[in-house]
């Protein structure tokens, strides 16, 4: 990857939004339809930055926090949604489940309303023209919790075809989808993508783009949402930078900014990528294949990027700084120990009691925790090495005496 200068990714103050899904269970642990808990008009929430809501989506319950350009504010709005949902669930004697995939009780499914039984997903676009399995919601008993990320954009969108949408979404697969595979080790991730949530799956709502590949795994903790919403901002920037730099080259040159930007970041990111491998890694939640793509393409690309968000999130905007070592330690521990290694608190309790979002996300709030764990792990390795050396020395002296 030959990059002659650090890449400043263009940002048009895009907003971030999301519509994650959870489930409700009764006292026996049986998943119930969302209409048992959520009224037809939904639960309206003062999101703090505009109106938010909690709505039905078949069996699933879908949360719509207020979109803003600040991830911390989105998290604060999401917290308000969860507080409203938790209150309603308590009043109904139900529990909120954050499972990625659930298998509905056969009798319970048969007793649900027609609206709840129906798989309500609207048609999606796919960057690779791939299509998931078609299933009958009345017979297919599995349901999955999605974690779609929305980016409000002046370039992405159904009425503004300034960029190649399919091409742009591949940046999301590389910079959001692949890191998500490294962090989301739930077996349900691959099961979910048999039906929907494939690599390259997206919609073009009026506000911009909806990346539909992620599950609800990032609801485990705000730090995870902060990380992947930040990576979505970088992916969006990669997708639109070429358009902005070329279209407004005269402005960039006049202000002395032109040399800070590459006009072909998508080309650099996708250089030499096997797109079949990219799809397979995401669709099958294949850690080894995702790691291969990350090592060969994603990490080298990120080393060239100046960004305050996500994996590269540092406020100094210096190339090759970032938190690449910290991210590797983070996903390695998840592979070995699971998400519980980092996040011991139950998800609902976390969202009900979490601190205000500013300063508590991925870059400012959680990376220091990873660094402390890295230091402790290093000390442990040094101590074990010293003990092994002493043992070998003792064995050597014993052998001489014998």
pLDDT tens digits for 79-107? Answer: 999 999 999 999 999 999 999 999 999 99
Are residues 81 and 38 in contact, defined by beta-carbon separation less than 8 angstroms? no
The DSSP element (H or E) to which 359 belongs, if any, is none
Residue 105 burial by Cβ neighbours in a 10 Å radius (0-12, 13-18, 19+)? middle
Residue 351 lies in a domain: yes
Residue 402 lies in a domain: no
- pLDDT band, residue 133 (cuts 50/70/90): confident
Q: How far apart, in whole angstroms, are the C-alpha atoms of residue 279 and residue 296? A: 16
Residue 46 lies in a domain: yes
Pairing mode, if any, of strands 60-64 and 21-25? Answer: antiparallel
Q: How far apart, in whole angstroms, are the C-alpha atoms of residue 92 and residue 227? A: 34
Residue 31 lies in a domain: yes
> What local confidence, expressed as pLDDT, does residue 160 receive?
62
pLDDT tens digits for 197-223? Answer: 999 999 999 899 999 999 999 999 999
Residue 6 lies in a domain: no
144 pLDDT above the threshold of 90: yes
Which of 57-66, 78-87, 323-332, 379-388 has the lowest average pLDDT? 379-388
Which residues pair with residue 24 across a beta bridge? 32, 96
DSSP letters along 253-265, please? HHTT-GGG--S-H
Which of 185-194, 245-254, 323-332 has the lowest average pLDDT? 245-254
Are residues 14 and 153 in contact, defined by beta-carbon separation less than 8 angstroms? yes
Residue 7 lies in a domain: no
How many domains is the chain built from?
1
Residue 142 lies in a domain: yes
**Mean pLDDT in residue range 218-246:** 91
Residue 113 lies in a domain: yes
Q: How far apart, in whole angstroms, are the C-alpha atoms of residue 31 and residue 201? A: 27
Are residues 96 and 34 in contact, defined by beta-carbon separation less than 8 angstroms? no
Domain that holds residue 283: 12-394
> What local confidence, expressed as pLDDT, does residue 309 receive?
85
Q: How far apart, in whole angstroms, are the C-alpha atoms of residue 99 and residue 373? A: 27
């Amino acid at each position: 990857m030959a990059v002659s200068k650090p890449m400043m990714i263009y940002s048009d103050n895009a907003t971030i939004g999301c519509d994650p899904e959870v489930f409700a269970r009764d006292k026996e642990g049986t998943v119930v339809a969302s209409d048992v808990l959520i009224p037809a008009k939904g639960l309206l929430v003062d999101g703090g930055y505009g109106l938010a809501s909690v709505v039905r989506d078949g069996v699933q319950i879908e949360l719509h926090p207020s979109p803003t350009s600040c991830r911390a504010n989105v998290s604060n709005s999401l917290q308000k949604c969860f507080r409203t949902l938790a209150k309603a669930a308590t009043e109904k004697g139900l529990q909120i489940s954050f499972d990625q995939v659930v298998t509905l009780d056969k009798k319970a499914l048969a007793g649900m309303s027609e609206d709840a039984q129906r798989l309500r997903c609207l048609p999606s676009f796919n960057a690779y023209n791939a299509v998931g399995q078609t299933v009958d919601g009345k017979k297919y008993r599995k349901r999955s919790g999605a974690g779609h990320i929305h980016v409000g954009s002046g370039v992405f969108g159904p009425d503004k075809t300034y960029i190649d949408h399919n091409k742009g979404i591949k940046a999301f697969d590389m910079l959001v989808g692949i890191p998500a595979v490294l962090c989301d080790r739930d077996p349900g991730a691959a099961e979910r993508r048999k039906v929907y949530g494939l690599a390259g799956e997206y919609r073009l709502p009026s506000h911009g783009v909806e990346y539909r590949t992620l599950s609800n795994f990032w609801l485990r903790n705000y730090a995870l949402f902060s990380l992947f919403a930040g990576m979505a901002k970088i992916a969006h920037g990669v997708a639109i930078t070429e358009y902005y730099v070329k279209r407004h080259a005269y402005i960039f040159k006049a202000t002395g900014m032109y040399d800070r930007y590459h006009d072909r970041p998508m080309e650099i990111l996708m250089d030499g990528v096997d797109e079949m491998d990219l799809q397979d890694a995401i669709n099958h939640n294949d850690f080894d294949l995702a790691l291969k793509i990350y090592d060969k393409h994603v990490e080298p690309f990120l080393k060239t990027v100046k960004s305050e968000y996500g994996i590269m999130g540092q406020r100094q905007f210096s190339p090759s700084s970032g938190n690449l070592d910290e991210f590797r330690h983070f996903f390695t521990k998840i592979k070995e120990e699971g998400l519980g290694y980092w996040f011991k608190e139950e998800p609902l309790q976390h969202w009900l009691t979490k601190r205000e979002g500013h300063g508590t996300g991925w870059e400012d709030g959680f990376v220091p925790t990873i660094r402390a764990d890295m230091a402790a792990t290093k000390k442990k390795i040094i101590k074990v090495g010293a003990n092994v050396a002493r043992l070998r020395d003792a064995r050597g002296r014993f052998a001489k005496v014998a």
